[in-house]
Amino acid sequence: MYRPCYTRPIVSSGSIRITLVRHGESVANRTQRWQGQGDSALSELGVQQAQAFAERMRGRHFDLVVASDLERASMTASALGRPFERDSSLREFDIGAWEGLTREQVAERFGDELARLDAGEDVALGGGESYGSFCVRVDGAIERLRARLEPGQHALVVCHGGVIGALVSGALALRGVRELPIGRPFNTSITELSFASDGSTTLHVFNDSLHLLACMQFPLPVELLHALGLVCGGVPHPSYGAFAAHYDAELHREELALQSRPELRFATLFERVRLRHPESRVALSAAAERIHAWTHETLWRELPELPRLAPPRPGSLCHVGRYGERIVLLDYGIAR
């Protein structure tokens, strides 16, 4: 069976790199219950995911490996077979009394909190943390980690979906956006950030779960099964899975209306492809510059473009999908 290696993003030698990995599926994930700082071991599938992640990381050098001290993160880090530190400040969002409840139970018991959240209030969920206090905690954890690293060094952090989401939204200057244009981190997905000496942060990889092919599960999340895959030049590699159709932005310019309307907004192009192939995963190849522009539009829409997203590497893949009325970036920088 093909096992993807992990291709390192091109990063300035003077930058500090931090690779973030979400834990494998936990028992609470499997039963679809709210999970914050309560301990829950990995499910049988979660153990397999952790092993697939560890295989993908084999041979990679990290100057420091740190994990949340919650069991599901520590179990995932243990699969690496190398020493690591445990840090309680990397724990998941504290959801207080929501812990262990189903979504239906939360809606029934905490309707007032949900209404306040919908109104834009920064609520301490279940008496636990508010989003603002949570971000202060995880930002502080990463700042302390960075202070321990020299330029050019690289750390691996095994943590939680909420932690990764908060750090990525902060890096992309998207905190405070009502409906985030990024997908949820998948179990054992890889996300990589670099921090330059001038204070800037760049996202190179987001939500890469290609190693789950080793479990015969790529693409696993249902979001990817109905997404548009943007391939940086050429046809998608076989390891990226099957696509219902494949278009090339240059060869099919007239068909996609890119010839007559080079300024065509990506949202319009996305809808045009989706109408042709509803409920299917479709590939669209384009040059790095075009994919970079499309992903910028997806993330920031009318806001000025910011140098916070690295250009895609040749042969890499990202997925764009829809959550309700939103077009979101599901992953980025996937490379075999």
pLDDT, tens digit (0-9, with 9 covering 90-100), for 62-95: 999 999 999 999 999 999 999 999 999 999 999 8
pLDDT top residue among 178 and 231: 231
Band of pLDDT at residue 217, cut at 50, 70 and 90? low
Domain with CATH 3.40.50.1240 in the chain: 16-211
d(C-alpha 284, C-alpha 82), whole Å:
39
Coil, helix or strand at residue 195: strand
Q: pLDDT at position 7, please? A: 53
Query: Mapping DSSP to helix (H, G, I), strand (E, B) and coil, where does residue 156 land?
Result: strand
Residue 3 has pLDDT above 50, yes or no: no
pLDDT score of 214: 75
Give which of 105, 111, 157, 160 is closest to 134, Cα–Cα.
160
Q: Does residue 202 surpass a pLDDT of 90?
A: yes
φ/ψ of 320, rounded to 5, equals -120, 135
With contact defined as beta carbons under 8 Å apart, do 300 and 292 qualify?
no
DSSP 8-state code for residue 104 = H
Options 23, 154, 211, 292, the catalytic residue: 23
pLDDT tens column, 86-139: 999 999 999 899 988 989 999 999 989 999 988 888 999 989 999 999 999 999
In 97-221, DSSP assigns E strands to 154-159, 190-195, 201-208
- Average pLDDT on 181-199 reads 94
Please say whether the beta carbons of 76 and 50 come within 8 A. Answer: yes
What is the dotted CATH code of the domain comprising 16-211? 3.40.50.1240
**Among this protein's residues, is 23 annotated catalytic?**
yes
Residue with tokens 């939500």: 207
- Clarify whether 296 is annotated catalytic: no
Helices (H) and strands (E) in the chain, counts: 10, 11
Residue 158 has pLDDT above 80, yes or no: yes
- CB crowding 4-31: b at 16 or more within 10 Å, else e: bebeebebeeebbbbbbbbbbbbbbbee
290-326 per-position pLDDT tens digit: 999 999 988 886 555 566 899 999 999 999 998 888 8
Alpha-carbon span 307 to 201, nearest angstrom: 9
Q: Which of 25, 61, 92, 255 is catalytic?
A: 92
pLDDT digits (tens, 9 = 90+) for 264-297: 688 888 988 888 998 899 999 999 999 999 999 8
More confident site: 4 or 223: 223
| pLDDT given at position 257 | 72
